[in-house]
């Protein structure tokens, strides 16, 4: 299953994959709504500066999360997501982009790096966070995968790009598929179902598009399993099945803990996924 476990730093609650904690050079986490500085509909751990929240509260949330996972706030590099398959290769020059300075890029739904001292950040409020780490080459990638990015193959593209840029072998990769909307709560229409059928083999579609039914208007709808869809893409890309860890936590069913667009709409905060590299440490917490 690979479920993420709950951790606390003072009043801040965050989630981590036990499999990733085994590697001293990795820092990672997924935020919850608990322990931040934001108020009202952003309560309390919102990471977006673009939703109307007080910027001082957002900056404080980044500071608290940095402390919790053991990185510097200056290390953050934040994606600029528009449901593409674009993945930016992050360098030292990008340090602080999206938190400490403006981002010199747009239309970026994935980030990758092999630079120690960089922490990648993506935003989520139902869409799937995908953490990829190469323990051999010491490289990482972090992805935002909604249905568009999923059917367009952002996960497979990340595996290929890591191979080209860092000589990563897919068989060496460690993957975490984090909290996101479950198939139980994710209904899609024929337009999305048709895209899924184009992207996957028929046998896979029978597992990914489930429970066909008609809604109150007589329109045929399906339930789509985004987490399993990305797992299948990763397996086809050469990642080992035992190396893929999947959180079954559904954002919509847990909107009191984690922000969910389908549960509450656009007036809300956003969760964030974090994945970064540090120099090797002897800290027993990460041994």
Band (pLDDT 50/70/90 cuts) for residue 286 is: very low
Assess whether pLDDT exceeds 80 at residue 281.
Answer: no
Q: Which residues, in sequence order, are CB contacts of 16 under 8 Å at separation 6+?
A: 4, 5, 7, 28, 29, 30, 69
Residue 268 · residue 44 · CB < 8 Å = no
pLDDT of residue 142: 99
CATH number at residue 36: 3.60.140.10
State how far the Cα of 58 lies from the Cα of 264, in Å rounded to an integer: 20
Residue 223 in any domain: the answer is: no
Q: Which residues, in sequence order, are CB contacts of 271 under 8 Å at separation 6+?
A: 30, 31, 32, 33, 45, 47, 123, 124, 125, 179, 251, 258, 259
pLDDT of residue 168: 99
Residue 105 in any domain: the answer is: yes
Mean per-residue pLDDT for 206-217?
A: 95
Residue 285 in any domain: the answer is: no
For residue range 116-153, list pLDDT tens digits in order.
Answer: 999 999 999 999 999 999 999 999 999 999 999 999 99
Residue 11 in any domain: the answer is: yes
Residue 226 in any domain: the answer is: no
Band (pLDDT 50/70/90 cuts) for residue 287 is: very low
Residue 189 in any domain: the answer is: no
pLDDT of residue 283: 47
For residue range 233-255, list pLDDT tens digits in order.
Answer: 999 999 999 999 999 999 999 99
Residue owning tokens 């709560």: 185
pLDDT of residue 279: 83
Band (pLDDT 50/70/90 cuts) for residue 282 is: very low
Going by C-alpha positions, the residue among 128, 142, 85 that lies closest to residue 226 is 128
Residue 139 in any domain: the answer is: yes
For residue range 81-121, list pLDDT tens digits in order.
Answer: 999 999 999 999 999 999 999 999 999 999 999 999 999 99
197 token code pair: 């059928």
Q: Name the domain count of the chain.
A: 1
Domain enclosing residue 152, as ranges: 5-181+238-280
Question: What does pLDDT average to over the chain?
Answer: 96
Assess whether pLDDT exceeds 90 at residue 7.
Answer: yes
State how far the Cα of 126 lies from the Cα of 137, in Å rounded to an integer: 31
Assess whether pLDDT exceeds 80 at residue 75.
Answer: yes
Return the bridge partners of 144, or none.
129
Residue 210 in any domain: the answer is: no
């Amino acid at each position: 299953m690979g479920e993420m476990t709950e951790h606390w730093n003072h009043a801040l609650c965050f989630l981590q994959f036990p499999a990733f904690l085994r590697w001293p050079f990795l820092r990672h986490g997924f935020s919850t709504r608990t322990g931040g500085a934001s108020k009202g509909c952003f309560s309390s751990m919102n990471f977006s500066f673009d939703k109307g929240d007080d910027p001082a509260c957002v900056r404080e949330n980044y500071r608290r999360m940095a402390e919790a996972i053991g990185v510097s706030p200056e290390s953050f590099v934040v994606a600029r997501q528009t449901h593409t398959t674009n993945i930016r290769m992050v360098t030292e020059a990008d340090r602080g982009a999206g938190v400490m300075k403006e981002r010199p890029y747009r239309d970026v739904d994935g980030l990758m790096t092999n630079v120690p001292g960089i922490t990648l950040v993506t935003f989520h409020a139902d869409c799937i966070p995908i953490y990829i780490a190469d323990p051999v080459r010491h490289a990482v990638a972090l992805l935002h995968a909604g249905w568009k990015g999923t059917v367009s193959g952002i996960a497979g593209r990340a595996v290929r790009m890591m191979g080209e840029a860092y000589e990563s072998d897919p068989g060496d990769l460690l993957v975490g598929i984090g909290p996101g909307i479950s198939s139980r709560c994710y209904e899609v229409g024929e337009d999305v179902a048709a895209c899924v059928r184009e992207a996957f083999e028929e046998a896979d579609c029978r597992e990914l598009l489930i429970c066909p039914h008609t809604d109150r208007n007589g329109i045929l709808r399906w339930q789509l399993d985004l987490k399993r869809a990305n797992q299948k893409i990763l397996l086809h890309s050469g990642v080992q099945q035992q190396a893929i860890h999947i959180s079954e936590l559904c954002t919509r069913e847990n909107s009191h803990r984690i922000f969910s667009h389908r549960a509450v709409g656009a007036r809300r905060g956003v969760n964030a996924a974090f994945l970064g590299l540090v120099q090797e440490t002897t800290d027993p917490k990460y041994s």
